């Protein structure tokens, strides 16, 4: 298995996903757009993982590499590669599927309950997940829901939290990937977003419980195992 990932800023790497890949001894490569790394050859990868970032999926003029990135994601989907998008990554997948990405009425930052939909409870990729899970969030944008996809999860603040497009494409608006260190870096780099609002927690609230980080690592691994088995 050859896994390639797209990283948009230094402080949003693979997190918990990297531990799973290393435990499987899979080949791992990366394109770090902030470091002007080249794109891989499509034929040389089996699985593409697209990570998060503070930019909008529609900010091609500000970040010209977004256009090239979206073209590669689209080609990966058409070629039948496994494609997993996290936060911005999910929005980029939705964009290449023809949907609109736009600022949501609420920013959602912190730990908030994620509820599985009926489709989510029946989904193989979320097999073994509870009906409700405390997940981490850091996003201000949302998207129109991809036609032909299954809506797998939602929160009170944001309806479109997870989708599966066929058996090989999954988008997660929420985070199971983050470690405590990653959240510390997000807080450091996104401090201006931490205003007093209904769905924005304080740094203390985001960092106070080690158990929440341990729990999402377990479910990140479970999701990756499930996704791996899907043909």
pLDDT of residue 11: 97
pLDDT at 145: 97
- Is it the case that residue 62 has pLDDT exceeding 90? yes
**Residue 150, strand partner residues:** 164
Choose which CATH entry (3.40.50.2300, 3.40.50.10860, 3.40.50.880, 2.60.300.12) describes domain 2-229: 3.40.50.880
Q: What residue ranges do the domains of the chain occupy? A: 2-229
The tens digit of pLDDT for each residue in 165-206 reads: 999 999 999 999 999 999 999 999 999 999 999 999 999 999
Task: Report residue 113's pLDDT band, with 50, 70 and 90 as the boundaries.
Answer: very high
Distances (CA, A) of 229 to 126, 172, 175: 12, 18, 21
Q: Residue 230 has what pLDDT?
A: 87
- pLDDT tens digit string along 2-45? 999 999 999 999 999 999 999 999 999 999 999 999 999 999 99
The pLDDT-based confidence of 231 (bands split at 50, 70, 90) is: confident
Look at residues 112, 85, 229 and name the one whose alpha carbon lies nearest to residue 171: 85
Q: Flag whether the pTM goes above 0.85.
A: yes
């Amino acid at each position: 298995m050859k896994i390639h990932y797209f990283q948009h800023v230094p402080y949003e790497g693979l997190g918990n996903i990297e531990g799973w890949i290393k435990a499987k001894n899979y080949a791992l490569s990366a394109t770090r757009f902030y470091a002007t790394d080249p794109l891989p050859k499509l034929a040389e990868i089996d699985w593409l993982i697209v990570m998060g970032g503070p930019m909008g999926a529609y900010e091609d003029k500000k970040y010209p590499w977004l256009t090239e990135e979206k073209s590669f994601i689209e080609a990966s989907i058409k070629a039948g590669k496994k494609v997993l998008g996290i936060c911005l990554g999910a929005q980029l997948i939705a964009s290449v599927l023809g949907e609109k990405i736009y600022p949501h009425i609420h920013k959602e930052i912190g730990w908030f309950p994620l509820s599985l939909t009926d489709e989510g409870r029946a989904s193989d990729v979320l097999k073994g997940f509870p009906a409700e899970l405390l997940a981490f969030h850091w996003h201000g944008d949302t998207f129109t829901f991809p036609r032909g996809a299954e809506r797998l999860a939602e929160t009170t603040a944001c309806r479109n939290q997870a989708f599966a497009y066929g058996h090989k494409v999954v988008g997660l608006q929420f985070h199971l990937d983050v470690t405590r260190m990653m959240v510390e870096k997000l807080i450091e780099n996104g401090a201006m977003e931490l205003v007093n609002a209904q769905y924005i927690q304080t740094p203390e609230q985001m960092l106070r419980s080690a158990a929440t980080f341990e729990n999402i690592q377990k479910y990140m691994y479970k999701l990756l195992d499930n996704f791996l088995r899907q043909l």
